[in-house]
Structure 1
């Protein structure tokens, strides 16, 4: 293999693909990046052989085609520090790879490409196209509610439902639920699958804020996202996802109209006494024209209030401050509608109009000493 390419393009590609590389693996090749010199380009691939694979191609002047696997960390560190705008790569028949740029010259030991596992093939594919900016927003507004523990592995991913000209993403972790829906130009119906949260985080980092389309292809066991020159392949999660429709309260006894920034600021203020060591719920009292918040921990008490409009019954509830803030920060619009159905039923956070998102936050039982 003998190529010349732009250093910045190569560095961007290496840093992105590197994120799919396995940090610990019994197969040395999986701790590396696969490089393939083609006719006018170089192909890069990172793969952890379990959950995630990422590929891309960049332009290159190719004098000799070939393949090699190079240590992802070492290769990335070298490219990052090269002094010139152009990089020359050359690999001999024993996989010794020379990297040269300006006056800098490195020779590093490569691994034969034959030792690199093949990426899975997508079989029985169905799929859709969705604007990059829309998918990025949808992931951002649901991924915060993905479960971090793997007590139920299926909940470490986000449920995708596609049908009737809509795409819906749903994440749950036992304490909250995030749902985001958009219309799409697709004839797919009844398509449902769960994508690992880790894969969605990587896709989100690659997605630009533009109206070009991301292509999603779904097979029986894997999913493929194509974002510009990148592809991300992930293994779908198996199992029974929560019946989220039955978890969403259908009725409410109170509806509150709230300025989102007022609620966020107030929660942040009364959270100042709460730490990982000194945990305490935030007490929220929803009244006719005011929401009063308070917290109590061994280091002190805090209280605050702000105006809001309540229709229905007054209600007093407790919430985990982080879960409450996550829901509010991911809500769209200057105002939100909050629906309540008593102190022990989940809080629903909704847009003022339409149903583009729905966040559920489960309440926390309050003790008398939390009263402030």
Structure 2
């Protein structure tokens, strides 16, 4: 194998794959990146026991030659030292390997030799039997993931809650995440006429998908199998296992009636909650108290015995129902929920003492956040 490539492009892709390469696997080869040099492209593959990403680098990008393949072949290079070395080399590099898996890396007057591994020993990517497939706008899918994924559980006590539920029904994709204390749900219109189907995708896999655009592709093709999901965009394929188990029926958690509903400026409320969190860190749950005053003002308060008190008052744009709010929430949870809302105004429905609050963008029923109050 022998090829020449622009190091800036090569390093960027190797760095992406290095992040997911396993360091604790029973298969040491998974700590490496497989490099395949073909006549028409380079293919780089990295992964772990749950996730694999395959990146294709064509010989030409936007009419510019970025790769020259002198000899086809393949090899696996341990990623840790490889990516560190690449970041310290000039812009153009030549990489070659021999039958003994000895890898030679040249850049100007710099010559580096590394021990490689046989590519034939690298796990083969699975050939899946597709049950359902759908094509989705990449930017829209990325937005939906970002607006929901933060609400997944960080604890492995209930593995099913560490993933994002993706429900494909007639012309609609519904993404749901919950950690039992909060819930985030977003709907996206898609073209899907097959039988309804839902899967739970590990949040780590979707986090990598969000950062893997780089292909210039406007759409992503999603293929679903019994125990795997595959996201394919131009020059990038992501394979992920699915989380097995029954996801809780979150619809039963959503209140249907409210006691008080207020509408506020989104950016101003985000800034206010953010300031309140400065003093709330000593509390286990970043306690921030919300109180309505005079049917038109929301008071945001946090108390720290060792630091002091922050109190802020913001004007409410609209009030419906009873003018009675005096509840405490996890400020960090509230802030993360608000940051997913892009509209100018946000609506918050308070459904009674110790019942969850429902947060939605004004005039948008496709996106909803649910946050349970704290006992004080």
Structure 1 residue 303 corresponds to structure 2 residue 311: yes
* Deviation at residue 154 of structure 1 after TM alignment: 0.7
2-structure distance, mates of 1:265, 1:86: 46
1-structure distance, mates of 2:313, 2:289: 11
SS at match of 2:13: helix
2-structure distance, mates of 1:360, 1:55: 36
* Deviation at residue 315 of structure 1 after TM alignment: 2.2
Structure 1 residue 63 corresponds to structure 2 residue 73: no
* Deviation at residue 265 of structure 1 after TM alignment: 1.9
Deviations 1:4-35 (A, max 9, x none): 22222211221122222102223221110011
* Deviation at residue 67 of structure 1 after TM alignment: 1.4
Deviations 1:316-358 (A, max 9, x none): 1110110111111111201011111112110101121131210
2-structure distance, mates of 1:244, 1:352: 22
Structure 1 residue 75 corresponds to structure 2 residue 82: yes
**Shift in CA distance, 210/336, structure 1 to aligned 2, threshold 3 Å:** farther
SS at match of 2:160: helix
- What residue is the counterpart of 2:63 in the other structure? none
- What residue is the counterpart of 1:369 in the other structure? none
* Deviation at residue 208 of structure 1 after TM alignment: 5.8
Which one of the candidate residues 183, 207, 222 is aligned to 1:201?
Answer: 207
2-structure distance, mates of 1:30, 1:277: 41
**Shift in CA distance, 211/357, structure 1 to aligned 2, threshold 3 Å:** farther
Question: TM-score when scaled to structure 1?
Answer: 0.93
Structure 1 residue 354 corresponds to structure 2 residue 364: yes
SS at match of 1:258: strand
Which one of the candidate residues 318, 328, 331 is aligned to 1:321?
Answer: 331
Within a 5 Å distance, the mapping from 1:157-172 to structure 2 comes to 157-172=163-178
* Deviation at residue 75 of structure 1 after TM alignment: 1.4
Decide which moves more: 289-298 or 235-244.
Answer: 289-298
- What residue is the counterpart of 1:142 in the other structure? 148
Within a 5 Å distance, the mapping from 1:1-372 to structure 2 comes to 1-48=1-48, 50-58=49-57, 59=59, 60-83=67-90, 85-207=91-213, 212-276=218-282, 281-287=287-293, 288-299=295-306, 300-308=308-316, 309-313=318-322, 314-366=324-376
Decide which moves more: 350-359 or 172-181.
Answer: 350-359
SS at match of 2:342: coil
**Shift in CA distance, 66/276, structure 1 to aligned 2, threshold 3 Å:** farther
The number of aligned residues is: 364
Unmatched segments (≥5 aa) in structure 1: 367-372
- CA RMSD of the aligned region, Å? 1.7
SS at match of 1:273: coil
* Deviation at residue 209 of structure 1 after TM alignment: 11
